[in-house]
Structures are given as structure tokens and as C-alpha cells.
Amino acid sequence: MTEYRFTLKYRLSSEDRDAEALVERLGEAGCTDALVGVGIAGRLALDFTREADSAQDAIRSALADVKEAIPTASLIEVAPDFVGLTDIADLMGVARQSMRKQMLGHSDFPLPVHEGPVSIWHLEDVLGWLDGRKGYKPDTVVRETATVARTINMVREARRYASNKVEEIECFVV
């Protein structure tokens, strides 16, 4: 068994706003290995540290436990997936400036998901790029978790857009 750390973020329905009741229901459903955050009205964040045979098993079981406890909650995001340079630098134990130098100095650095004043990458892409580079040894458990998180986030987004006019959207996909 390996210990996996990940976060599940949800939007809550108007009927699920009682924080104490949510924490009790989550505990009864098996989420005793999560730190519960309800700081934003209508939102729920669960920071899990779960033991399992794989990241997929850990995250899937947590998703099922939350669904049992709060069936009306809508998944927003599974983390770690979307990260900025500071997040990447912290994970790798280097200064942000060092990671920025890598990004600017290598034309094959992964493309961001969003580029702007604060650029965002998929963690899986950056860890894969860093793997084997001198001075960098990405944690395999973090990379496995990031891969599963990204997959779930992509499937969630695909389902969300599937209900829209797919034919109109497909013409823009390259």
C-alpha cells in the first residue's frame, strides 16, 4: 500500500450548506482520511491522504465515498493537476526562478494550458519533462497521482461539453 495525497473540490447544492452535517456524513461514508475545507460559500474542498494500491484506486474510492455522503455535490476539480511555476518549484524543492529558467531556456518545455500573467500547466506534463533531467527527480507517486487527476478532470470536462453542440465545437479542435 502506498499513501496518496490529492484534493477533491466540489460545488455544493443549496441543501448541503451545513458544514457540521457535511463533516459528519463524510466521516460516516469513509472520508476520515480527509481534511475538510468549507471556507467559500457553496464550495467544499477535501484534502485526502489515502492509502491504496494505486493512485487510481485511492482517488476513485474517495470520489465514491463523497458521492455516497453528498450525492448532489458537483465535482469541480481533482488536484494535483493544474499548476503554476511556483507550485512546480515547491514540489521539486527549487526556487521559482530556477523553474522559470527551465521554462524560458528550453523550447521543448511543455506548453501551458493557459498562458498569461500567470501561466498554468498540467503537472503530469512538467513532471514527465523534468524526469531524467540533471538535478531533477520527480516523485513517482506524485506523478502517478497527477496523471489520474488530469484524466478525471479531462473526462469531467468532456462530459460537460458533450451536452453542448458537439458538431459546432469539433470544427475548432486541431
CATH code, domain carrying 75? 3.30.70.3400
Cis amide prior to 80 (ω within 30 degrees): yes
Could you report the per-residue pLDDT of 18-75, keeping only the tens digit for each? 888 999 999 999 999 999 998 788 999 999 999 999 999 999 999 999 999 999 999 9
How much is the pLDDT for 17?
82
The answer on 85 and 67 residing in a single domain is no
Q: Whole-angstrom Cα distance, residue 70 to residue 86?
A: 33
Question: What domain count does the chain have?
Answer: 2
The answer on 112 and 32 residing in a single domain is no
Range of the domain at 150: 80-174
Residue 56 burial (CB count, 10 A): 16
Could you report the per-residue pLDDT of 113-128, keeping only the tens digit for each? 999 999 999 999 999 9
Phi, psi angles (nearest 5°) of residue 3: -95, 125
Q: Which of 45, 79, 113 is the last residue of a domain?
A: 79
The answer on 142 and 72 residing in a single domain is no
Q: Which of 79, 104, 123 is the last residue of a domain?
A: 79
